[in-house]
């Protein structure tokens, strides 16, 4: 059966698609009644305005990203073998980068699987099918994943903002195998406990791995404050790297319980303490208490996940910096992180610098960190470079 055809509008930029841009926005595509009738995740041949084929796309008329490029070959067969070829290429990179099988195996468009996230925890993998086509082809994707990696347990994590934007329901289920509790994950000399069934995202954030390592070098012999710690984040890496003590702050009692279990598994529980509460309130309380730390890290959730939230998000980043800066001992270090897609590096850096200044401090940027290499960046899709970590050395 012939595949449906969708066509770019005359003013749409076909050149960008030919040069590797993977998305077509809703206002760039002819959306007649035939196109509007396509089911979520339908495969279609994309043509330019002159009816020249550009490749095979998946269509979702409910999404602002109405089409995602799957394959430059309009006749490509999308099945388990096709998925296995993409997964094999992704796996070869991770096996070269890491000695142990704990990493992000697939990072969406950059690995040729649009809207798909796969994190690997040894013999367990968590798939986030954040695009309609991935939901429709999930059985083939899971089959290919087991075949390529030998992984027995595959979990679908169908939660998060991205699925809502695609018109997909939220659900989590075990597709094969099973887990009986949090999974120990070795990283940067520490052991983290990942709740792959009920934790945030896939259960652990692999993207901060290189930034944890850099912070751990600054933490030797230091008193450390880790705000928005999740399951131990920067704090456990700092303690594994020789920090004198670490205080971990998070609003989630469940996450802090996993952090404490991670500290025990790492053998640093005697130097690790936690404090539950709203991060802004805890920072204010620590300021009133006169607390001082040699290294302060703030790694909040995305305050500006999309452009409408940018202004408010930048104000929140500025406030975090203003409250955190006075807690840094003279000559100490402040690490500020953002995972907001809408806040680019310049905007985030400026907001952080304003906040530090309003906190009565000055300093120098000694390092700018990004996501690790298991989160590759598609050059044509700057939006996928979401993570920024700024390392400041503050004056007296």
Per-residue pLDDT of the chain (396 residues; tens, 9 = 90+): 689 999 999 988 888 999 999 999 999 999 999 999 999 999 999 999 999 999 999 999 999 999 999 999 999 999 999 999 999 999 999 999 999 999 999 999 999 999 999 999 999 999 999 999 999 999 999 999 999 999 999 999 999 888 988 999 999 999 999 999 999 999 999 999 999 998 888 999 999 999 999 999 999 999 999 999 999 999 999 999 999 999 999 999 999 999 999 999 999 999 999 999 999 999 999 999 999 999 999 999 999 998 999 999 999 999 999 999 999 999 999 999 999 999 999 999 999 999 999 999 999 999 999 999 999 999 998 767 899 999 999 997
Domain ranges, ordered by start, for the chain = 5-71, 80-176, 189-394
Could you tell me which CATH class the domain 189-394 is placed in? alpha beta
**Burial track 106-131 (b if 16+ CB lie within 10 A, e otherwise):** bbbbbbbbbbbbbbbbeebbbbbbbb
E-state strands within the chain: 5-7, 23-25, 42-47, 53-59, 65-71, 102-107, 116-121, 124-129, 153-158, 171-176, 183-187, 190-194, 223-227, 245-250, 272-276, 293-298, 328-338, 363-369, 388-394
At 382 the pLDDT is: 77
At 199 the pLDDT is: 83
Give the Cα separation of 218 and 225 in Å (integer): 13
At 1 the pLDDT is: 65
Please check whether residue 100 is in contact with residue 147, taking contact to mean a CB–CB distance below 8 angstroms.
no
- Residue 221 has a CB neighbour count (10 Å cut-off) of 9
**What is 80-176's CATH superfamily?**
RNA methyltransferase domain (HRMD) like (3.30.750.80)
Does the structural domain 5-71 have CATH classification 3.40.50.300? no
Give 330: exposed, middle or buried? Use CB within 10 Å, 0-12, 13-18, 19+: exposed
Task: Return the SS3 of 271.
Answer: helix
Give the Cα separation of 77 and 64 in Å (integer): 26
Give 246: exposed, middle or buried? Use CB within 10 Å, 0-12, 13-18, 19+: buried
pLDDT digits (tens, 9 = 90+) for 169-217: 999 999 999 999 999 999 999 999 999 998 888 999 999 999 999 999 9
pTM: 0.95
> Of the candidates 169, 317, 359, 187, which has an alpha carbon nearest to the alpha carbon of residue 262?
187
At 201 the pLDDT is: 84
Give the Cα separation of 335 and 278 in Å (integer): 19
- Residue 391 has a CB neighbour count (10 Å cut-off) of 22
The strand pairing partners of 65, in sequence order, are 25
Give the Cα separation of 276 and 283 in Å (integer): 12
């Amino acid at each position: 059966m012939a595949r449906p055809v969708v066509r770019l509008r005359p003013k749409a930029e076909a050149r960008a698609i030919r040069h590797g841009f993977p998305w077509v926005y809703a206002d760039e595509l002819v959306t007649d009644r035939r196109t509007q009738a396509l089911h979520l995740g339908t495969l279609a041949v994309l043509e330019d305005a002159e009816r020249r084929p550009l490749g095979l796309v998946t269509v979702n008329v409910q999404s602002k990203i109405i089409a995602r490029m799957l394959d430059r070959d309009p006749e490509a067969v999308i099945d388990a073998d096709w998925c296995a070829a993409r997964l094999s290429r992704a796996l070869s990179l991770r096996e070269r980068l890491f000695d142990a099988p704990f990493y992000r195996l697939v990072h969406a468009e950059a690995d040729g699987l649009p809207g798909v996230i796969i994190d690997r925890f040894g013999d367990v993998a968590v798939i986030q099918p954040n695009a309609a086509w991935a939901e429709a082809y999930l059985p083939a994707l899971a089959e290919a994943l087991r075949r390529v990696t030998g992984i027995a347990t595959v979990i679908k994590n169908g939660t998060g903002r991205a699925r809502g934007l695609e018109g997909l329901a939220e659900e989590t289920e075990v597709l094969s195998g099973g887990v009986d509790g949090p999974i120990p994950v070795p990283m940067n000399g520490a052991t983290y406990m990942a709740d792959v069934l009920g934790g945030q995202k896939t259960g652990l954030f692999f993207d901060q791995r290189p930034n944890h390592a850099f912070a751990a070098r600054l933490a030797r012999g230091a008193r450390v404050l880790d705000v928005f710690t999740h399951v131990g984040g920067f704090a456990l890496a700092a303690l594994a790297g020789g920090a004198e003590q670490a205080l971990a702050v998070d609003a989630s009692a469940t996450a802090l319980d996993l952090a404490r279990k991670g500290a025990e598994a790492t053998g640093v529980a005697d130097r690790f303490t936690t404090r539950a509460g709203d991060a802004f309130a805890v920072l204010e309380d620590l300021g009133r208490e006169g607390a001082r730390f040699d290294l302060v890290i703030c790694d909040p959730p995305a305050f500006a996940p999309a452009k409408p939230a940018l202004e408010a998000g930048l104000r929140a980043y500025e406030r975090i910096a203003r409250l955190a800066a006075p807690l840094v001992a003279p000559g100490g270090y402040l690490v500020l992180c953002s995972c907001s897609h809408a806040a680019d590096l310049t905007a985030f850096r400026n907001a952080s610098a304003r906040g530090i200044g309003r906190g009565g401090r000055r300093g120098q940027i000694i390092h700018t960190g990004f996501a690790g290499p298991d989160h590759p960046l598609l050059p044509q899709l700057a939006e996928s470079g979401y993570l920024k970590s700024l390392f400041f050395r503050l004056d007296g």
